[in-house]
Structure 1
Amino acid sequence: MGNITKTIGLSLGADICWPICYEEIIRRLQLAIPHEGNTVNFNVERVTIEPYSLRQHCKYAVVLDRLTHWYHTSREWIKKAIILNDLYVLNNPWAVQSMEKQTTYCAMMKLGLPIPETWMVPPKSYERSKDLDHTLKSYARLFNLGEVGQKMGYPMFMKPYDGGGWVGVTKIDNDGELRASYEQSGKHVMHLQAAVAPHEHFIRCVGLGPQVKLVHYNPAAPLHGRYVEGSSTLSVKDQDWLRKLTIIINSFFLWDFNSCECLSKEGTWYPIDFANPCPDSQVTSLHWHFPWLIKANIRWSIFCAVTERKMRLNQSWEPYFEIAREKASLEEKVEQYATLAEAHFETERFEEFCDQHLAHLDEITWEFFGSDIAKDAIRQKVTALYPPHEVEAFTEHFWQQIQKWRRDEETKIGDT
């Protein structure tokens, strides 16, 4: 029995600000956590990209992954490390790779969630080949797009069936706009989805393990203003419902870190987009909400590293489908789904762990976000994203939003 060092790897793409903050707060926490007779310390490293043997040892206990969704070299290294080295990763790479929006809509429809009416349409154009020409000539039916639009009703949205980041998303109000959007869609396979309109609330629910952050969202605003500043103003009932939906979706697809978009209309919450297993993590998007992300990442990664949480390699959907087949109300089914989700994320054990070993995280994080290192992390991200003449103004803008968060949190810190 003695000291054990657990190494947490950061597998990064264009991420700049959050890794700096994560690394520095871990350093300031000076963690030495007793576990099963040992004292666990922590080291944080950035994962490099290089040739490797499939039998190569993996030194990481946990990897926070930001590349699996698009960079194949890192994805395949992570798959190898999970299978051969028992690595724990946020998120399961097979689930990220295979579960596009089409699958998620179908699965949640089967669970009884009120997914808006959604159609898939063949792509407007193709990469031509002899085999494809024969297939299309023999089996592709001509269709009237306007008739599809009339069956669905307007307004609607056209969006790629497997896309993200609002790329290729178009709001459509009439037959002419539908045809024009389809003409511009190129080789993408597209969804048409009925709009939830008018809606009362647009909420982005960010889930990280059993932790959920509900953020009012304005997609019409510039990128730096889409996440509305401040805590949720929803009722306790609505907040509880959205938290349950989020952890149900994330546990169903084996996503530790994912965001779910939901719209409310006449008392019903409609999940509209929830295959986002690499959510916004930059201060330039999250601003006031950014410190929550850092703390949630630290809590979940430390918990997984210390307890040696095991990866679930494949989904187990049948327990959810058994509930779906019951003759019960949606509310009753959601309660049962949520029980499965809480068990998957070990919520009770996680909360006890955080209370015992990470009680000082709030104070350390609050102090850090008043530091020069935190402001420089913001400046580095802004410099990478904005033109030179806007760097100082936007650095100050995001810095002041973080300081507003600190003022909002100060009373809570003092009461603990």
Structure 2
Amino acid sequence: MKKIGILFGMERTFPKAFVERVNEMNVDGITAEPVKVDVVQQAVGTPYAVIIDRISQDVPFYRAYLKNAAAAGAAVINNPFWWSADEKFINNSIAISVGVPVPKTVLLPSFARPDDTTDASFTNLVFPLSWQQIFDYLGFPVFMKPHAGGGWKSVFKVHNVDELFNAYHQTGQLVMMAQEAIEFEEYYRCYCIGRKYVRIMPYEPRNPHHLRYVSDKNPSPEMEKLLTDYVLRLNNALGYDFNTVEFAVRDGIPYAIDFCNPAPDADVHSVGQENFEWVVEHAAKYAIERAQQHKEGQMNLTWGDFVKRSVADMQSVEKATKEKKASSPAKSSQKAKKQ
């Protein structure tokens, strides 16, 4: 029997519905339940072939538990090693590399020095920054947001230099991004599961939280095709198997605004019954697929194209270096004979 587990925190509607849906599908040899965590022993696996992670972003103990489980062979969705490594700024760079438009963005050092540092810790940092270059590049208005994290925490929309510095002074030790504000005509939030199942949802981020999925905008067939393509490009590059991508559409161009949501909101009371039904069904379907593919005693994690390309490039360099070294003695021998 292969178990699928779901690890979650305060949320209730999605985890319960997910477990029920997997079990209702009645796939031979597969069952689902909430994950039970007790003693976590190094290099010792868990009873779960697949674990859906909904909470480790807020609980470091769970993140460490999931890494240990993955190293022992569990298929953790999403990959806890990559989730620990990525953040919004590098994700923007990856988006550009795969041809997905993103707002112009600049990384800013934290306003307050990190603990256990002094002025001497920043010998390499130009001070003050070339602020005018930043203002000329971004224009106004600008969004100030943390380079990592989510949930609209510590996010400011500023309209001039004074407002920007006032916001910056409130951010403490957070590493921030200053990002071009996309004044949009349409906005969409897109679920992506398994890097193949995509649901495009009209969304209005300016509404109160419980009304954000209430929108009269609907994508044209051409826009729907483009959004689907961009969603798949991003998630294949990043390696996320459960994620949401948000797009702000300006002058017909969808800009990826937020696409680092590996534990996206799936509560029925906020996403609505129709969207909730879709995500429960496809999350259950994909988890079962991963359980069926699971191989005991092997690594069952998935990785994104960005990481896989990096590994492939490194292997190519190593291979070329070995070939060069292997051919060197022969060349030296031939040179000696000629002499």
1:57/1:113 CA distance change after superposition, 3 Å: closer
Count how many residue pairs are aligned between Structure 1 and Structure 2.
Answer: 305
Q: 1:13 aligns with which of 9, 16, 20?
A: 9
Correspondence 1:182 to 2:172: no
Read off the aligned partner of 1:311 and give its amino acid letter: N
Q: Which residue of 2 aligns with 1:393?
A: none
Q: Which residue of 1 aligns with 2:181?
A: 195
8 Å contact 2:70–2:301 — kept in the other structure? no
Read off the aligned partner of 2:151 and give its amino acid letter: G
Q: Structure 2 CA distance, aligned partners of 1:139 and 1:250?
A: 33
Read off the aligned partner of 2:105 and give its amino acid letter: T
Q: Which residue of 2 aligns with 1:119?
A: 106
User: Within 5 A, what are the aligned runs for 1:17-416?
Assistant: 17-29=13-25, 31-32=26-27, 40-84=28-72, 86-127=73-114, 129=116, 131-136=117-122, 139-143=125-129, 145=131, 148-197=134-183, 199-209=184-194, 210-228=196-214, 233-288=218-273, 289-308=275-294, 311-312=300-301, 314-317=303-306
Deviation at 1:155, TM superposition (A): 1.3
1:287/1:160 CA distance change after superposition, 3 Å: same
8 Å contact 2:107–2:177 — kept in the other structure? yes
Q: Structure 1 CA distance, aligned partners of 2:120 and 2:167?
A: 27
Read off the aligned partner of 1:25 and give its amino acid letter: R
Read off the aligned partner of 2:176 and give its amino acid letter: M
Superposed CA offset, 1:296-344 (max 9, x none): 11111111112337634544438879xxxxxxxxxxxxxxxxxxxxxxx
Deviation at 1:162, TM superposition (A): 0.6
1:317 counterpart SS class: helix
8 Å contact 1:158–1:170 — kept in the other structure? yes
The normalised TM-score by structure 2 is 0.82
1:57/1:163 CA distance change after superposition, 3 Å: closer
8 Å contact 2:294–2:300 — kept in the other structure? no
Deviation at 1:128, TM superposition (A): 5.2
Q: Structure 2 CA distance, aligned partners of 1:106 and 1:48?
A: 37
1:27/1:248 CA distance change after superposition, 3 Å: same
Deviation at 1:124, TM superposition (A): 1.3
Deviation at 1:50, TM superposition (A): 2.2
The normalised TM-score by structure 1 is 0.68
Q: Structure 1 CA distance, aligned partners of 2:204 and 2:230?
A: 20
Deviation at 1:140, TM superposition (A): 4.2
1:114/1:229 CA distance change after superposition, 3 Å: closer
Q: Structure 2 CA distance, aligned partners of 1:141 and 1:229?
A: 45
Q: Which residue of 2 aligns with 1:369?
A: none
Read off the aligned partner of 1:45 and give its amino acid letter: E
Superposed CA offset, 1:3-59 (max 9, x none): xx2211111111211122122333433x14xxxxxxx23322211232222243422
- Give aligned-pair identity as a percent: 28
Deviation at 1:260, TM superposition (A): 0.9
8 Å contact 1:149–1:178 — kept in the other structure? no
Q: Structure 2 CA distance, aligned partners of 1:277 and 1:23?
A: 19
Q: Structure 1 CA distance, aligned partners of 2:307 and 2:42?
A: 33
2:272 counterpart SS class: helix
Q: Structure 2 CA distance, aligned partners of 1:261 and 1:11?
A: 24
8 Å contact 1:146–1:175 — kept in the other structure? no
Q: Structure 1 CA distance, aligned partners of 2:137 and 2:45?
A: 56
Read off the aligned partner of 1:149 and give its amino acid letter: F
Deviation at 1:258, TM superposition (A): 0.8
Tell me which protein shows more helix as a share of its residues. 1
8 Å contact 2:79–2:240 — kept in the other structure? yes
RMSD: 2.4
Structure 2 gaps, min length 5 = 311-339
Q: Structure 1 CA distance, aligned partners of 2:220 and 2:66?
A: 40
Read off the aligned partner of 2:103 and give its amino acid letter: P
Q: Structure 1 CA distance, aligned partners of 2:164 and 2:41?
A: 50
Read off the aligned partner of 2:158 and give its amino acid letter: I
Question: Relative contact order (alpha carbons < 8 A, sep ≥ 6): 1 or 2 greater?
Answer: 2
8 Å contact 1:63–1:88 — kept in the other structure? yes
Read off the aligned partner of 2:13 and give its amino acid letter: C
Read off the aligned partner of 1:143 and give its amino acid letter: L
Q: Structure 2 CA distance, aligned partners of 1:83 and 1:57?
A: 8
